[in-house]
A and B are shown apart, each in its own frame.
Chain A
Amino acid sequence: MLNSIKILLKQVKQYKTAAFLTPLMTGLEVLMEILIPFITASLIDKGINSGSMPNVIKYGMIMLMMAFISLFFGVAAGTFASRASSGFAANLRDEMYTNIQRFSFSNIDKYSTAGLVTRMTTDVSNIQNAFQMCLRIAVRAPLNLIISLAMCIIIQPRVSVIFLVAIAILACIIIFLMGRTTAAFRRTFRKYDNLNASVQENVSAIRVVKAFVREEFENSKFVKAATDLYEMFVKAEKLTVLTMPIMSLVINGCIIALSWMGAHFIVDGYLTTGQLTSLFSYVMNVLFSLMMLSMIFVMITMSTASGQRIAEVITEEPDIRNPENPVMEVKDGSVSFRDADFAYKRRIVTYDEDGHEVITIEDVTKERHEETLHDINIDIAAGETIGIIGGTGSGKSSMIALISRLYDVTNGAVLVGGVDVRNYDLTVLRDAVSVVLQQNTLFSGTILDNLRWGSPDASEEECRRACALACADEFIERMPDGYNTMITQGGTNVSGGQKQRLCIARALMKKPKILILDDSTSACDTATDAKIRKAFREEIPGTTKLIIAQRISSVEDADRIIVLDNGTIAACGSHEELLKTSEIYREIYETQVKGGGDFDHPQ
């Protein structure tokens, strides 16, 4: 916990001055505020009780000045606190985001998208609030406590015994209560999260609920869970509501003791009436500060989880980096796998006692059955068209991910243009190897904006050409705004097949030496699919093309087809050869011809 606080605090950076000035200003404000009752004592004793109007005015002016100074420092503290906390939050987001940009695929796999988004939004706001609170109250409360105590001791050391006793009693009770309640509240909040999760489930699965006529069932399930939650809350809060009455008890006890002892001291001449009134103010101050302190404590405990989650992202080490003295040019589009083995790191999700996800990544032991790819050996010449086919989990996507170094091999090597991919500059390599991912995304912006991801300075003409190659031109031109049509977030306003073709066009914009399509035409009808492949063959013959597909028809005209089975190359050859030699290939072919094909197609 301390460690993550340290990591977070490093991000205060340019707001250090503001972060430092806030407590300073607050301190001065508190000092002024606390001195006011002290001066009041003088006003009463030297002014009223001795009947001196000049003294009244003198002390009055001092107090008024102090109040104004306090106001000034208070406003300054507030301003600095906001500057420091909003800046700190911006820095945290920035640091997380830039680090996420450095993440490799396996770093990305470790976190879920939703998890990362929560860290950058909710968790950052939690920390921002806690930070601001800490800057202001964490100084104010202890300072208030200490100065008030000091003032009491200065006024009359013997009276301050009352305070010490009261503080000791109060501290014990608060610590005891907090110990009991935080555990109860944690359990309760977890339950609360679960309740909300079940509502969420109902909202998204409402069609299932309605289709099975399960409204009553869901209602009774919910009512039971909500009632449980109610009981847990009441049980947990039963203890917290004791805090205030106990505080009042102690404060009131103090006032009575102070009245009794004060009266004795005044009569005996150890104390003046004015001082007694100041002491009354300080009692309130001390106890109020204690309450504040307990509040801060709760706030910090509540935000530690957020802090840890943020620190986790900031300190995540990207596991793929640029080599020293990288190779800056990819000679040609040849690809070679040399005894390549690959295993994903194992992502283990457990839940801590608060019900938060704890993700740990384990390096997989070198056992063969845990490897995704095993002993891959193949040489692909520049300009060749290679089809890759095999069942889910056979390792198709993993194999092509190694080429542009989205993941690193665990053993062996992958060579592009005759050079180990680990020796290339990452940007150079990835610009030469264009991958159309299976899970692909378009971003909000116009079609042109999206295409220019592949090449920022491309002219509209170049964009059109790429779209023509990917057979995307016809539907784009039919759209009301053509190439300037806005794509909504997530690309929801284009159909699956259109999205795939746009993604292919975007990948082509790079003019890559190697083009990889990972099941990228699955939502296009067979005719379009064939047309795209024909365009590739005729227009970009020099580009090495690797095509992963579920449909045999998508790969049958490739120069060679790799059949992957369980992480190994089971067979490799042309369609005709494989039909003769590979049993797996023949099986896939037959089921598809018999009618396992896909009937989905675009508009």
Chain B
Amino acid sequence: MADQKRTPAPPRGARIKTKVENPGQLLKRVLAIVFKNYWLHYLIVLACIAIAAFTNLRGTLFMRSLIDDYITPMLSQADPQFSPLAAALVRLAGIYAIGIVASFTQQRLMVNISQGTMLNIRKQLFTHMESLPISYFDTHSHGDIMSIYTNDVDTLRQLISQSIPQLVNSSITVVITFISMIMLSPQLTGVSVVMVIITLLASAKLGTLSGKYFIQQQKDLGALNGYIEEMIGGQKVVKVFCHEDKAVTDFRERNEKLRDSAYNANRFASIMMPVNGNLGNISYVLCAVIGAAIALSGSVSLTLGSLVTFLTLNRNFSMPITQVSMQMNSIIMALAGADRVFKLIDTEPEQDHGYVELVQVREAADGTLSETTERTGEWAWRHPHQADGTVTYQRLQGKVTFDGVDFGYTDDKMVLHDIRLFAEPGQKIAFVGSTGAGKTTITNLINRFYDIQDGKIRYDDININKIKKPDLRRSLGMVLQDTHLFTGTVMENIRYGRLDATDEECIAAAKLANADGFIRRLPQGYDTFLRGDGANLSQGQRQLLAIARAAVADPPALILDEATSSIDTRTEALISSGMDKLMSGRTTFVIAHRLSTVRNADCIMVLEQGRIIERGNHDQLIAQKGKYYQLYTGNQASA
């Protein structure tokens, strides 16, 4: 369990995004977010959509009067008068102008609405994510979390900026077109409606088929991507074992499976467009023929202008409906994305009921402590007393005790049992034991990355639950086995330990950590830009930077997790002397992998299966001839 953080992300593409519960609820929540900051914008957008739809309709209807009211009469006139037509066209131009202004306004505002909402969602996502407990990150694959920021937020943007306005636009268009159609010819409208229903049924059928294969395609894609990731990751081993042919055979099997399911999923999706389009054509033809028949029979009055206009309206009627039906899938996908976004936002943040704070103090001549904002290097716990409103200060010393601590990452499986330990201020406590024995877990508890199930952990005799988490963590420096660096310069990375540290202080810290030497040899020294988790540095150099980062923070107590990866002797010597300097005078918990670290520890805890089985200093444990002796000497026989 200690190694949870290294669980690999599931293969990309493995997630199937086609199922959503409660789509209405989700849509409502998305809209609520949009409206909260942009209600005025959105109302204007809606108005603009309506105006644009109306002007569009006016344009189409003009066709009728063009033929019926202007051209046809002119044909029978001896001296055709064009001025009424000119006046009508000027009016039409005016209407078009209004429509264009409306559609521009709508689109321009939409940019602010959609990007602004994205900004708000990103901010909310990120700030909320930062407040989540470590357990969230340990139990969710990092690939999945990232996918919320990239894929899900992006589909959400499309929903807000494209799908919803289009939905509104389409509904308005459909409704007003429908009304105009009925006014022009109820009979033909009937034909149109029947055709639209047929189109919808066809789309639904194709949609279901496509959806079925789509799920299969996502599964096959996940399987293939997983295989590729694994094999490419181990490509050198493949070479060494001449396993290339077998690797190709296995790959082809999966690749062909994906090809087939992709073909099927794709086929039904891509024939959707021609089917819809051509059913529209058929509808157009049917209306034209039936309309012509009606016009000729003369039983119902249908002018040529009306018929031509109706044909255009017919298109305007069926197109938005098929568009919406085609949009449905992306709307569902966006809502599935929204669901994941909201799940993260709804995850309970880290709880903190602590009230004891860590403050800088100055000691007066009489030994009393007074709080100060200056950096004195002297720290105290500040206890507020609710009963009488007074505050007392207690000097920070760095004494840590564990009393009967039980812990499990889940309630049903305990990882640590009855841990008792006692660290005097300035002492160095080392944990040794095999992988999975619970070494890293113990350090996760001191700074409350996880809370214990039973027992008590006290810091300077204060139950750590009573200390505010930020203050508790500020008092404990941490150097982790997996060093993580941030994009930025070397200097900025060191300053991460204390944001107000001057350049001189950062350089001093680097010197203490033995990092100064290699930093100066970098192309731009302290201004060298690191990216991709310090990919341009060696493991050892990253470790040295992490030590410098902890050194500049100058914390009263330390948690160190030694790097296990093979580092050459010279760098290793630099690291251990850097760590020694960092540890001096501080209470330190160290997860040890090297004999040198263990040997001068004040107390060594030997852990096995979540229990401390031996404790004592090096000499005592050697004399005891137990597990420690056995591990140390590598001599099984004497155990």
Contact = CB atoms under 8 A, between A and B. Distances in A.
Given A207-B480, A212-B553, A117 B225 contact: yes
B74 A267 contact: yes
Nearest to B266: A82
A43 interface: yes
Interface stretch (B21-29, B227-235, B404-412, B519-527): B227-235
A226 B497 CA distance: 24
Given A121-B225, A212-B473, A273-B71, A78 B486 contact: no
A206 B594 contact: no
A597 B230 contact: no
Contact of A495 (B112, B436, B487): B436
Given A56-B296, A201-B533, A453-B243, A252 B142 contact: no
Given A90-B255, A101-B248, A218-B130, 11 more contacts: A90-B262, A101-B238, A117-B225, A212-B478, A241-B110, A256-B93, A438-B566, A453-B241, A497-B435, A550-B569, A591-B573
Nearest to B66: A259
A90 B126 CA distance: 37
Contact of B598 (A29, A43, A599): A599
B287 to A, nearest CB: 10
A530 B634 contact: yes
Given A86-B263, A101-B238, A132-B266, A441 B595 contact: no
B119 A227 contact: yes
Contacts of A64: 282, 285-286, 289
Contact of A203 (B142, B239, B531): B142
B532 to A, nearest CB: 8
Contact of B568 (A267, A391, A594): A391
A553 B632 CA distance: 13
Contacts of B532: 197
Interface stretch (B99-107, B185-193, B387-395): B99-107
B293 interface: yes
B399 to A, nearest CB: 20
Contact of A87 (B238, B259, B289): B259
Contacts of B512: none
Interface in B563-619: 564, 566-573, 576, 592-599
B104 to A, nearest CB: 4
B596 A596 contact: yes
Contacts of B67: 273, 276
Given A49-B304, A60-B285, A82-B263, A121 B12 contact: yes
Contact of B237 (A248, A249, A440, A602): A440
Contacts of B592: 599
Interface stretch (A292-300, A370-378, A425-433): A425-433
A124 to B, nearest CB: 10
B275 A244 contact: no
B624 interface: no
A492 B7 contact: yes
Sorted from nearest, which 10 A-B pairs have the closest CB atoms?
A74-B274, A526-B634, A392-B568, A205-B484, A60-B289, A441-B234, A90-B259, A78-B271, A71-B278, A82-B266
B82 interface: yes
Interface in B74-103: 74-75, 80, 82, 85-86, 89, 92-93, 96, 99-101, 103
A40 B288 contact: yes
B292 A60 contact: yes
A519 B564 CA distance: 13
Interface stretch (A146-154, A229-237, A575-583): A229-237
A554 to B, nearest CB: 11
Interface residues of A, number: 162
B470 interface: yes
Contacts of A70: 274, 278, 281
Contacts of A47: 292, 296
B635 interface: yes
A385 interface: no
- Dominant secondary structure at the A interface: helix
B435 A263 contact: no
Contact of A263 (B66, B267, B295): B66
Given A71-B282, A266-B75, A203 B145 contact: yes
Interface stretch (A102-110, A164-172, A458-466): A102-110
Given A82-B263, A527-B634, A600 B293 contact: no
Contact of A519 (B82, B112, B258, B566): B566
B495 to A, nearest CB: 10
A186 interface: no
A325 interface: no
A241 B107 contact: yes
Contact of B108 (A36, A98, A241, A453): A241
Contacts of B594: 595-599
A497 B251 CA distance: 30
B279 interface: yes
Interface residues of B, number: 167
Interface string A315-355: 00000000000000000000000000000000000000000
A223 interface: yes
B365 interface: no
A172 to B, nearest CB: 18
B86 A222 contact: no
Contact of A208 (B72, B85, B273, B484): B484
A404 B240 contact: yes
A60 B272 CA distance: 25
A199 B277 CA distance: 43
Nearest to B62: A259
B304 A48 contact: yes
Contacts of B179: none
B115 A237 contact: yes
Interface string B249-272: 001100110111011101101111
A435 B99 contact: no
B288 A113 contact: no
A557 interface: no
Residue of B145, B269, B486 contacting most chain A CB atoms (<10 Å): B486
B236 A108 contact: yes
Interface string B455-495: 00000000000000010011011101000111100000000
B478 A211 contact: yes
A195 B634 CA distance: 49
23 contacts: A33-B277, A43-B288, A74-B277, A77-B274, A82-B264, A86-B266, A89-B259, A89-B262, A100-B232, A116-B232, A205-B533, A207-B449, A211-B447, A238-B108, A252-B100, A392-B567, A437-B236, A496-B564, A525-B634, A550-B568, A594-B596, A598-B594, A599-B432
Interface in A251-276: 252, 255-256, 259-260, 262-264, 266-267, 273, 276
Contacts of A597: 594-596
Contacts of A523: 564
Interface string B521-555: 00000000001110000101000000001000100
Contact of A94 (B237, B251, B434, B633): B251
Contacts of A601: 434, 631
B134 interface: yes
A443 interface: yes
Contact of B150 (A196, A495, A510): A196
B307 interface: yes
A409 to B, nearest CB: 18
